[in-house]
Structure 1
């Protein structure tokens, strides 16, 4: 069955916000077994919203929409839908009471603009919003079943999983199965080259790619006569993909690089200490963004100044003067120093030149030394990353985490 995703909001068409909702919904609908051939974005304009819904309803049997359900004057999605299907707006007292109770928690009362969020097209199926003031709703537009949800990602995702999925799951054709693999370390073109011929070797399999710097996601989608047949085909094709990309695949589905690294540290019962310079705390941020980082992360210290490297990590000033703060010697001393002062099993350090200035012919912008001290001793690598400051810092953080990951994988 064909699905379409519609994102509504002028802030999206102007590029003021990144449309993460559409990508998330498309992936989720595909995982349910739907075909999602088209996604569209439209601004907060009554006429254009109506026209886009009409167009999507002409071929899709399920339409999932986000945005335009808030209290402000540009939130006009509900009115547009009522105009399209030719019914009046009707106030739902249960939704209004929910809004009233939610606002009361913050010492606020319901204004007219808040109250309009309880207005729905007559006959609509209302979708409760337990964590926000904007309920969603569902209506029929011709042969299409259309769902309308708020644009706030956290609210949308919970509403989709609790309200939309149970209503559409039975409509899925149950003839497909998808596995998503997450990779780091190769550009998209090289990943594609390595997987050349997989689709031909496994008829019914379609490979997809999604680049989200600095990662590449590989999607293996298989279709068959049944879900079981599609799954068997998908798993066989995925095994081939894993063999071809064995050196860069780190996880599946919604795994994150930091999350996988953390799981490996827990499995080995290793503690970790980090000393950062050019990355300015990015490694620690990536790790602590994942739940349960306190199980293994003892300390993340940003020793940006040379004096901090000496005072906090005990690095000899002569080492810094003799080799420079950006050097393999200092990177090793940082890793050994933070390991010593923290008592961690594994220590990671990063020092480099993230730019845009500060480089030299000998050490250009993008030069980073990364060291990891573990049970087998200290290893240091020198890398020369391309791109701007953000790209250099991100790549350095990922390479550092990858070194920690390798320590966990190879240690006995």
Structure 2
């Protein structure tokens, strides 16, 4: 079911708040003449179980998975995979169809030598090769996949850039400077409104959208910042006067801009853009059709250290933890928030880059700093989990 449908029927309400491990039930009443969902009031908790069951005992690779799921390691930092030495500090990632197989792209969040790499898989999951798609950039954190099958790799540095990369390794990566110079984190494309949403990893960061002059060409366009009051509800957008930001940061150029505490992952699905903020451990829901901002998760447990986020066509969200219990938590349209998997033995790491294969049967992600937990990310591990995912 599309998230647009869920929003309208109240199955997922923009502004609904999670408490503990479950959504709060809420009345979603729209006054006459007011379009779209409202921020609901709190109600009794719903009581739904996980669709997969709890994670079991850790396997040989330290993966605690629900029944019916299996995992493997596909790459380790410093070791060769498909002829390529895998990069340190693997971070944001995405999957792309590739003939009878697929490609998983992963960023490298290290200074000066960051960039991104890709692993090519065959139809049975066999590794056919690996290669670099971006080199010589700085602290490439998250990013986003475009509808025209490119990867947006974002630099998480002062006046960072967005690079558009070819996951197939045939074209050189290009900086898209019109998308602004700031501490970029993640990107999510909205093909319905033909915009790209962008998060900013600052303690007073903003939430942006980029409106390209031509959809599919990110070389020119208009950068806008979300403006709202202190809470949720209706929002507006204002143009950022100088996206290049040589003197004044983009987040300080528009007085009415709403500030967020450490923007992280970003995912668009059926009329809603979900994004996470680590400073207050929230998952936000921007109802793009009605231009309203809500909160989808605001609690201390079970999901903590919110970071990268992805989703499935069924409306399930998968949110990776930076620290916490080293879990990927599942948020379902049935109002369940529950751990899906856990990595044991990596207490000083974070989970990054969750992305599904095109057929939805395999989930890829990394432990950025691995079991050693060193800041340089020299012990990074990239995993694949296969199983009966809801599709």
Fold shared by both chains (TM-score > 0.5): no
Q: Please say which structure displays the higher CA radius of gyration.
A: 1
TM-score normalised over the length of structure 1: 0.23
Q: Which has the higher contact order (CA 8 A, sep 6+)?
A: 2
More strand by share: 2
TM-score normalised over the length of structure 2: 0.24
